[in-house]
Amino acid sequence: MKILLQTAGGDGAAWIDAARQALPEARIDGWSAASAPDADYALVWKPPPELVQGLKRVKAIFNLGAGVDSMPDLATLPRGVPLVRLDDAGMAEQMVEYVCHTVLRRYREFDAYVEQQREALWRQRPRLSKREFVIGVLGAGVLGAAVASALVRADFPVRVWSRTQKSIAGVTSFAGSEELDAFLSMTHVLVCLLPLTRETANLIDREHLSRLPRGAYVVNVARGALVVDADLLALLDDGHLAGATLDVFRDEPLPPEHPFWHHPRVVLTPHVSAVTRVEESVAQIAGKIRRLEAGLPITGVVDRQQGY
């Protein structure tokens, strides 16, 4: 069995070493144009088009991440070959930590206390009502469902919105474009965990952000291209939105001249909400390859029409 492994960053050696330990029965090589035609499986991240075009006999293509928007046009992938994304591989736990920290920081008004400290001002702020502090999670996949469930356990009222109706204990589900406005109108902290597709690109624009209650807060930990930057900035500046925590951006690294860097109502982090863990990811992929070799079904197969 021959496996081709390609990454866009400088961590290719770590992925290859982990894959060789997890799949000692396989020959695992880094990508070259000569190696692609003979590969039985391809493990890739942001692959160049010529790599995909060179795959002649692969049984499956594994994307080294949860979102497949980094792949070339899905229509160009070999027909009949499953494209498989990571189910979790340690990302859900990280995402829960990041989002819960952000929500609690907002709910307990720590940023306001930071400002009071700068002014040497001793003032206890009235506690906000948790029952009225509604969290809305856009996207109810593996990561969105994990975040929603964790916030329910912290006794927050939680709603999710997704393409289809979801059943998550303690969570109110909204589905489809006809229910999006109702979902937004009751959301005080909007957490974006949608996949990036043709339908979701630029979804978080002025129109939809304006549907949020005045003083709402936005958290984007999904993909930068879901948010229209200029619209978000405009609603922050006019006071309709109280603030935003952003971990993902249209251009990464975020250019130093971008206004997000120095905006007083924006907290940003450099795409660290849920990093891909090499060993956990490789272990998951190895298990799926063995199932495929045994003729068994696997999870995480991407619906090319939906884009996730």
Q: How far apart are CA 250 and CA 269, in angstroms?
A: 14
- The rounded Cα 94 to chain-centroid distance in angstroms is 11
- The answer to whether 248 and 223 are in contact (CB under 8 A) is yes
Active-site hit among 211, 271, 290, 304: 271
Instruction: Please provide residue 57's backbone torsions phi and psi, each rounded to the nearest 5 degrees.
Output: -135, 20
Residues 106, 159, 208, 223: which is the catalytic one?
A: 223
Task: Round to whole Å and give the CA distance between 155 and 219.
Answer: 19
- Is 271 one of the annotated active-site residues of the chain? yes
Neighbours of 31 (CB within 10 A): 21
The residues pairing with 84 across neighbouring beta strands, listed in sequence order, are 62, 301
Task: Please indicate whether residue 262 is annotated as part of the active site.
Answer: no
Contact 43, 8 (CB under 8 A): no
Contacts of 259 (CB under 8 A, 6+ apart): 233
Provide the annotated active-site residues: 223, 271
